[in-house]
């Protein structure tokens, strides 16, 4: 009942003519800016259920909202925080979280520091996933920005060093970020949900995360390129059944990273009403599972090419092609129960997604997005990618077409 009430309230909010603005108030003669957003989506698929929703019947379990406040304490010091909540099928389930909270001190244009729960700089859009009003698409390319892993990737608890340097001879600007901190996954995120199919239930999942981002705003107006690197040392602990003796009840479970890293490369070109961007990501996770009795090497590679064009003041069209491929190899006793997945031509080991989108801006605070996905493959493997056996009890079909409707407000 609580879920239905919240969904109906948000739908009513989004159905009216919205004209809200950012709010401001004073604290000790300093201006505090208060912003918020809310979105309600609907997803229908013709084949497989998607994103943990019962989407083959049509699902409106696609809701999120948040509110943030920030203050410029001095000319160089800024603080801010954001509360966030969502329900995406079986993920989130209305468990609120502190999305980010930071203090940012800028010594010079080329040197600043941030501390707290800080957004993670990774590729073009990882640190703006919560700013839906900036994006053409209802869903960012899922090969690079899986929405079922949003809460695991958007921020880390730690600190950043960052800055920008203008190059001589009009060669553009170099911007950098280096960070270190702790990743801590919600137990209502995609990876804990994926492992629940094997009756493995996490109590904690997270660990050390460090890396950096380097981007070059080139001398060509509107053209930037960049690269990101992220390393992690992740530990998960909880309970599981013994797969060789399921009747014995739940036993302690743990898994540990041997190597866990991401490389990402990206580029963007924007000129007038046109924007084109592309990214490539490789994620490798080499881990010990079941307390070190077995091992798993997962290799995920994704890329996309996207374009958007604003044909009128309130109408924008966009399209992207997203390619996701995964291989997984298991060693040890569990290898007898989980065959290796190394042939990425099989639908179980890839997702190729062709997307077309229309975004309609009803006013500066309210938009509607209509999006079609035409997917080949379902990628059922050892890492989340949108398709889950728990909501596809009859097995997977090789192709899925999806209609995504989404309306969002922001102030």
Find the farthest-apart pair of alpha carbons in the chain and give their distance in angstroms, rounded: 71
Q: What is the CA radius of gyration of the chain?
A: 22
Q: pTM value?
A: 0.92
Q: What is the CATH number of the domain that holds 135?
A: 2.40.160.10
Per DSSP, what are the bridge partners of residue 207? 183, 234
Give residue 20's pLDDT. 56
CA 407 – CA 16 distance, rounded (Å): 11
Show Cβ contacts of residue 192 under 8 Å, excluding neighbours closer than 6 positions.
Answer: 185, 186, 201, 202, 205
Give residue 18's pLDDT. 47
Please give the DSSP secondary-structure letter assigned to residue 341.
B
> Which candidate, 305, 285, 352, 286, places its Cα nearest to that of 325?
352
Q: What is the dihedral of CA 320, 300, 228, 358, to 10 degrees?
A: 20
> Which candidate, 294, 292, 395, 390, places its Cα nearest to that of 336?
294
Give residue 10's pLDDT. 47
DSSP for 76-120, please give it. SEEEEEEEEEEEETTBSTT--EEEEEEEEEEEETTEEEEEEEEE-
Question: What is each CA distance from 242 to 198, 380, 393, in whole angstroms?
Answer: 10, 22, 22
Give residue 21's pLDDT. 65
Write the burial class of residue 397 (CB in 10 Å: 0-12 exposed, 13-18 middle, 19+ buried).
middle
Question: Can you read off the two tokens belonging to residue 398?
Answer: 């090789």
Structural domain total, the chain = 1
CA 365 – CA 181 distance, rounded (Å): 34
Domain membership of residue 339 as a residue range: 2-410
CA 132 – CA 154 distance, rounded (Å): 14
Kindly give the pairing relationship between strand 294-312 and strand 250-271: unpaired
Question: Can you read off the two tokens belonging to residue 408?
Answer: 């969002």
The alpha-helical segments, DSSP class H, found in 311-358 are none
Question: What is each CA distance from 174 to 113, 122, 212, in whole angstroms?
Answer: 17, 16, 13
Per DSSP, what are the bridge partners of residue 30? 27
Give residue 17's pLDDT. 43
Interior CA angle at 304 toward 409 and 184, to 5°?
A: 65
Contact status, residue 32 vs residue 69, Cβ threshold 8 Å: yes
Question: Can you read off the two tokens belonging to residue 401?
Answer: 């077409």
pLDDT one-digit tens code per residue, 85-98: 999 999 999 999 99
Contact status, residue 162 vs residue 175, Cβ threshold 8 Å: yes
Residue labelled with tokens 């009216």: 16
Question: Can you read off the two tokens belonging to residue 311?
Answer: 């044909």
Question: Can you read off the two tokens belonging to residue 125?
Answer: 């859009």
CA 252 – CA 242 distance, rounded (Å): 10
Which residue ranges of the chain lie beneath pLDDT 50? 1-18
Task: Report helix, strand or coil for 351.
Answer: strand
């Amino acid at each position: 009942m609580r879920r239905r009430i919240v969904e109906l309230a948000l739908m009513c909010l989004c159905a009216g003519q919205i004209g809200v603005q950012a709010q401001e108030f004073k604290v000790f003669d300093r201006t505090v800016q208060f912003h918020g957003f809310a979105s309600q989506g609907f997803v229908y698929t013709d084949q497989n259920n998607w994103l943990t929703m019962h989407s083959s019947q049509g699902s409106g379990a696609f809701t999120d909202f948040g509110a943030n406040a920030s203050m410029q304490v001095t000319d160089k010091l800024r603080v801010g925080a954001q509360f966030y909540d969502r329900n995406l099928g079986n993920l989130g389930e209305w468990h609120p979280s502190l999305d980010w909270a930071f203090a940012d001190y800028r010594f010079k244009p080329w040197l600043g520091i941030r501390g707290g729960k800080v957004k993670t700089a990774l590729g073009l859009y990882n640190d703006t996933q919560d700013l839906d009003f900036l994006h053409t698409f209802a869903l960012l390319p899922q090969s690079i920005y899986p929405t079922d892993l949003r809460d695991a990737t958007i921020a880390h608890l730690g600190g950043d060093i960052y800055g920008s340097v203008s190059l001589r001879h009009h060669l553009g600007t170099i911007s950098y970020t280096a960070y270190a901190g702790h990743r801590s996954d919600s137990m209502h995120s995609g990876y804990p949900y994926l492992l629940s199919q094997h009756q493995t239930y996490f109590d904690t999942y997270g660990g050390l995360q460090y890396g950096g981002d380097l981007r070059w705003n080139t001398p060509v107006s509107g053209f930037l390129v960049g690269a990101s690197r992220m390393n992690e040392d992740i530990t998960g602990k909880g309970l599981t059944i013994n797969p060789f003796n399921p009747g014995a009840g739940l036993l302690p479970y743990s898994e540990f990273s041997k190597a866990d890293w991401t490389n990402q490369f990206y580029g963007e070109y924007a000129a007038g009403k046109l924007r084109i961007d592309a990214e490539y990501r490789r994620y490798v996770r080499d881990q010990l599972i079941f307390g070190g009795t077995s091992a798993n090497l997962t290799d995920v590679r994704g890329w996309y090419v996207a374009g958007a064009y604003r044909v009128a003041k309130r109408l924008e069209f966009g399209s992207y092609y997203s390619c996701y491929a995964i291989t997984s190899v298991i060693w040890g006793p569990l290898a007898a129960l989980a065959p290796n997945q190394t042939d990425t031509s099989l639908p179980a080991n890839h997702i190729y997604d062709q997307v077309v989108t229309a975004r309609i801006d009803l006013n500066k605070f309210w938009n509607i997005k209509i999006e079609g996905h035409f997917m080949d493959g379902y990628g059922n493997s050892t890492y989340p990618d949108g398709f889950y056996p728990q909501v596809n009890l009859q097995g997977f079909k090789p192709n899925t077409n999806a209609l995504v409707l989404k309306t969002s407000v922001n102030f």
